[in-house]
Amino acid sequence: MEKIFPESFLWGAAASAPQTEGAALIDGKSPSTWDKWYELEPQQFFNQIGPKDTSNTYYLYKEDVRLMKEMGLNSYRTSIAWTRLLPDGQTLNTKAVSFYRNYFTEMLQAGIKPIINLFHFDMPWWLMEKGGWEMREAVDAFAFYAQTAFEQFGDLVKDWTTFNEPMVHIECGYLGEAHYPKVIDFKRAIQVGYHTLMAHVKAVQAFRQVGISKGKIGIILNLSPIYAKSQNPEDQQAQFYADLFYTRSFLDPVVKGEIPLELKNVLQEHGLTPKTNAGDKELIRQYKIDFLGVNYYQPLRVQAPKNQVFPAKSPGYFARGYNWPEKRINPHRGWEIYPAGMYDLAKRIQQEYDNIPWYVSENGMGVEGEEKFTKNQVIQDQYRIAFVKEHLEYLHQAIAEGSHCFGYHVWTFIDCWSWLNGYKNRYGFYQVDLDNQFIRKPKLSSFWFKKISSQNGF
């Protein structure tokens, strides 16, 4: 049975500036937390590959856009590096303006719609030294950066997002050690989350004030459907709180214009209420998004917590993970594969969030050691094709039932550098040769995706 997607559906891929551009400390760019962390502790990074060793898009953007067009992409999401555009937070870097204008123009001339994100975990070091997202100052600094980007590129870029996966820099940097500053402090994490939300809101405000013709602004959230181990009240309560912290904490304010009352209450009960400014509540209410980006990789399965000690020192006080015995696993990465979760997310957005326009901003399959699947000099990544096809089938079903989804982006176009993991897990349609990062080789999935996009379905 044919599965044809809506007219003008976006078929594309997603990436970010810090993971693809390279040229990490040249042409005026200042260091991000990743540049500085690598300088301080290179041993923390897989095979000691740091952020300067990414996929060289800064030099190869014309070649990359040619390959995007060749494989049938009609859209592409990447980000601007705050540290490149405003190296000290105030001074406009004209070399950065030239690079991004040339890059976005190249996309447009190839018939590829750019969707441009402002923050993809790459906190400027000058701001991190002051406390990063823990400081209210960061909110206004981000708003100024956002306004600058809108003013410099708003004639070329009409579709913008503020943050990619804000939950990740909170969870990995302030409830874990996978991102800098690698501290574990629930109260500080909540403050970081609140300032991130307000930075988003102030960026939306700046967007409305700049007034980009036909422009739209959104945010990209990593959403997982959250399933309880059982119908027992304790497991159901764990599901409720996990959803409150991991989903509704950002989704409710950006779409509905208000922080959930249940979240405010539980934070107050545990002494975790963040510092706020007068007028914040009204700003959240007023500056809502036009569309939503959803990154979906795997579901979250939870059960009742054990050994709770009041007050909460982490989200683990409210719920803990559950290892579902029937789950299907990506053996190369260790993540659960659950395509039906795509349908569940789509229906929830449709039913509980005003059926807001949304798109799949990331979905994909990471594999370590992909080279072993090479035949006739092409990586035979049928596993990636199967993964994408299954998710698209569930997405198509949700769209047929009225979900307002307008696109699907795979992570990622070319194998990219991935934080502490370097190039350990590969996600790309194109292979990057680590011995010569100026060489890109198509994988089998790139040819398959071209067929899908040209047919607008399968």
> Given a cut of 80, is residue 437 above it in pLDDT?
no
Cα–Cα distances in Å, from 68 out to 60, 87, 175, 388, 414?
12, 29, 37, 18, 10
Terminal Cα distance for the chain, rounded? 9
Q: How far is residue 418's CA from residue 64's CA, in Å, rounded to a whole number?
A: 19
Orientation of helix 186-210 relative to helix 249-256, angle to 10°:
20
* pLDDT number for residue 277: 98
Question: Does position 439 have pLDDT exceeding 90, yes or no?
Answer: no
Strand partners, 405: 358
Indicate the average pLDDT of the chain. Answer: 96
Closest to 196 (Cα-Cα) out of 147, 163, 223: 163
Handedness of CA 125, 76, 218, 178 (dihedral sign): negative
Query: Could you report the per-residue pLDDT of 27-67, keeping only the tens digit for each?
Result: 999 999 999 999 999 999 999 999 987 899 999 999 999 99
pLDDT confidence bin for 15, thresholds 50/70/90: very high
pLDDT at 201: 98
Residues 6+ apart with CB under 8 A from 408: 5, 9, 10, 11, 12, 359, 360, 363, 392, 395
| Segment 402-411, tens digit of pLDDT | 999 999 999 9
Domains identified in the chain and CATH numbers = 10-455 (3.20.20.80)
pLDDT confidence band for 435 (50 / 70 / 90): confident
Residue 331 scores a pLDDT above 90: no
- Distance (Å) of CA 39 to CA 44, 89, 199, 406: 10, 21, 28, 41
CA angle centred on 446, ends 51 and 66, rounded to 5°: 70
Give how far Cα 120 sits from Cα of 107, 125, 199, 219, 321, Å: 20, 14, 14, 11, 26
Q: What is the pLDDT of residue 338?
A: 98
What are the start-end ranges of the H helices in 7-55?
Answer: 17-20, 33-40
| Cα distance between residue 170 and residue 194, in whole Å | 10
According to the model, what pLDDT value does residue 323 have? 95
Residue keyed to tokens 């996978």: 178
> What is the average pLDDT across 176-200?
97
Quickly state the pLDDT bin for 103 (edges 50, 70, 90). Answer: very high
Q: Is the pLDDT of residue 383 over 90?
A: yes
DSSP state of 401: T
Of the candidates 29, 196, 10, 34, the one whose C-alpha atom is nearest the C-alpha of residue 100 is 29
Active-site residue list: 165, 362
Q: Dump pLDDT digits (tens) for 340-367.
A: 999 999 999 999 999 999 999 999 999 9
pLDDT, average across residues 117-141: 98
